[in-house]
Amino acid sequence: MAYLRLKTLHLIPVFFLVTFASFMMLDLLPGDTVDAILSDADTGEIGSMEAREALRKELNLDKPLIVRYALWLGNMVQGDLGRSYVTTQPVTEALVQRIPVSLELMIMSQILAIAMAIPIGIYSGYHGGSTVDRGISAFAFGVLSIPVFVAGTVYIWIFAIELGWLPSSGHTDFSEDPWGNIKGFILPALTLATIEFPILMRVLRVDVISTLQEDYIALAKSKGMTTWYILFHHALRPSSFTFVTLLGLQIGQLITGTVVIETLFSIPGVGKLLIDSVDTRDEIMVQGVITFIAIVYVVVNLLVDLLYAVLDPRVARRA
């Protein structure tokens, strides 16, 4: 398909743009790059002469910009994003430890969001125009005005502090304590799901309303099928396509949400790694994590585009 090829080709300049921007970030540091990286966050002490020379070599600072970028890029595609000067851990290793945690959070939150959206969306659409429906719409509008960190703070206050039902922070490995692991994820995932479900719900509601206006619904009804059966089979199926689109659309929001939620609930995922590295002024780690997130973002968006084109051939034809 020409569209697939076009989209994949489009990836190339965007890839270079994103990686170059990530690479250039070190050069934004005020003053000498080596001094900035080696200086201690608390004492401001800069490292020994030898350490500085070694770092200068490692970052290829003696070479021209374009060569430095090429070398950096070469290392990066081989999975080498450098090494932290605070913890001495390689960036890639840190990422590999954190990725499963973030993934678990994202997947759980999306499952929850869908689980919330489907019944409410169907109910709202089925009673389209009613007081309840309008109440739900107004509620959804309100929820969309809540920043994710506000939602999380309120949830912690209510569910963890006042009611004491769930932990407000802490993370245990699934292999060590499966129930503890899931319990720790409930509030964070619920927070993310809360601010994400109104959009899914909204789409489903519109789909239900339009499905109910179709002729075959009357026919199915006359054949004695229950309304709920019809709704699940006829409204949910076309909606699943819209859902795919929306989940793709949410990815930017989801990344923001994950960074915030991991920080708020002290979940050791990629987002927390980023914020912690900012706190400890771990320049190389920050750069590595940002590069990683940016590339994932670009690739996921490409995949969503392609999936979208496969599901809806009109998109491909338009290009």
Query: Which positions lie near other proteins, rule CB under 8 A?
Result: 7, 10, 14, 17-18, 21-22, 25-26, 28-30, 137-138, 140-142, 144-150, 153-154, 156-157, 161, 168, 198-199, 202-203, 206, 245-246, 248-250, 252-253, 255-256, 259-260, 263-264, 274-275, 278-279, 283, 286-287, 290, 293-294, 297-298, 301-302, 304-305, 308-309, 315, 318-319
Cβ-based nearer residue to other proteins, 67 or 299 = 299
CA–CA separation, 167 vs 149, rounded Å? Answer: 17
Instruction: Kindly state the tokens that stand for 66.
Output: 């374009």
Sole residue written with tokens 């000067």: 85
Under 8 Å between Cβ of 235 and 122: yes
Q: Which residue from 243, 254, 251, 258 is spatially nearest to 300, judged by alpha carbons?
A: 251
Q: Minimum distance from CB of 243 to other proteins (Å)?
A: 13
Q: How would you label 236-258 residue by residue, b for 16+ Cβ within 10 Å and e otherwise?
A: beebeeebbbbbbebbeebbebb
**Dist. CA 28–CA 262, nearest whole Å:** 27
* Identity of the residue, 21 or 115, whose beta carbon is nearer to other proteins in the bound complex: 21
> Do 200 and 114 contact (CB within 8 A), yes or no?
yes
CB atoms within 10 A of CB 153: 14
Q: Least distance to other proteins from the beta carbon of 269, Å?
A: 14
Give the nearer residue to other proteins in terms of CB position, either 55 or 230.
Answer: 55
Cβ proximity of 188 and 104 under 8 Å: no
For the CB of residue 193, give the shortest distance to other proteins in the complex, in Å.
14
Tell me whether residue 230 or residue 286 sits nearer to other proteins (CB atom). 286
Name which of 189 and 286 has its Cβ closer to other proteins: 286
The least distance separating other proteins from the CB of residue 139, rounded to whole angstroms, comes to 11
State which residue, 220 or 300, has the beta carbon closest to other proteins: 300
